[in-house]
Amino acid sequence: MSSWKENPILTVEHLTMRFGGLVAVDDLSFEVGRSDITALIGPNGAGKTTVFNCVTGFYKPTEGRITMNRSNGQSYLLERIPDFQIAHHAKVARTFQNIRLFGGMTVLENLMIAQHNKLMKDSLFSIGGIFGISSFRKSEKASVKKATEWLERIDLIDRADDPAADLPYGDQRRLEIARAMCTNPELLCLDEPAAGLNPRETQDLNGLLRSIRELDKTAVLLIEHDMSMVMEISDHVVVLDYGVKISDGDAAFVQNDPHVIAAYLGVDDDEVDEAEAEAKVANAEGVKS
């Protein structure tokens, strides 16, 4: 059952994050499988985004170890390296709960910035670029091509030259994912990618995430509140409540775990048995936060 334990791309061990007196994440350990879509779920305030911020280096965890095992065999201890190097060297990309696009720049420019490090190198750190050396021009062309491919995949090719802030919400979400993918990540962390999307857009998103796993061979770790989506596409679900892991397994396992039901319905632990009975009535669709 726990295939993610055999070949994890990301191993989180005893992760603890305190803000002053508040313990946002408490002794959390889990694995993310190399070819899985892993979902991190939990009620509001469970510490999911904090985990993301620790993994991507925006927060430095109080305790614990986060290991990224790249496919070329190199390992990185993410809690020790600065955020931009996590994206650059450890190949972990992310999106944000409140979309963070470069609103005043065009859709294409957004995807070009994601390829900054490669272009920077090929422009000989701008010196070659100023003189317009041919290898840089070639590299720039390749980057535009890659961006174009992604724009086709997310169906935004017609809006390539429009400012990103001008796009509708759902398109912005997809663009942010495409932008993260343009950094060539091996692990993609998505913070509530389906928030604010309508059911059709959510379906498209599912397709996109599957293609990212299959075509791009990129592992996906996502935070999501839309249970139907989580249960549909996740290979592995980790459930947090008040910063503590309460369940870990495949979708079916988690769905029937009394602890999860208790956390979501807000009942005491000793009422878990009752809740289990209730949960049989409320199917997966109905269980939303």
Question: Which stretches of the chain bind another protein, using CB under 8 A?
Answer: 49, 53, 56, 58-59, 83-88, 93-94, 96, 100-106, 108-109, 112-117, 119-120, 123, 125-126, 129-130, 140, 144, 148, 157, 160-166, 179-180, 183
Task: Name the helix (H) or strand (E) containing 174.
Answer: helix 169-181
Rounded least distance, CB 42 to another protein, Å? 18
Looking at the Cβ atoms of 103 and 199, the one nearer to another protein is 103
Rounded least distance, CB 83 to another protein, Å? 5
- Could you tell me if 259 and 272 are in contact, meaning their C-beta atoms sit under 8 angstroms apart? yes
- Dist CA 273 CA 118 (whole Å): 55
Rounded least distance, CB 20 to another protein, Å? 11
Rounded least distance, CB 113 to another protein, Å? 5
- Dist CA 131 CA 282 (whole Å): 66
* Residue carrying the six token digits 């100023």: 130
Strand partners, 23: 18
Rounded least distance, CB 285 to another protein, Å? 31
DSSP 257: -
* Residue carrying the six token digits 């490669």: 118
Rounded least distance, CB 102 to another protein, Å? 4
Looking at the Cβ atoms of 45 and 207, the one nearer to another protein is 45
- Dist CA 276 CA 274 (whole Å): 5
Looking at the Cβ atoms of 86 and 254, the one nearer to another protein is 86
Looking at the Cβ atoms of 64 and 163, the one nearer to another protein is 163
Residues 6 or more apart whose CB falls under 8 angstroms from that of 220 comprise: 36, 37, 38, 187, 188, 190, 209, 212, 213
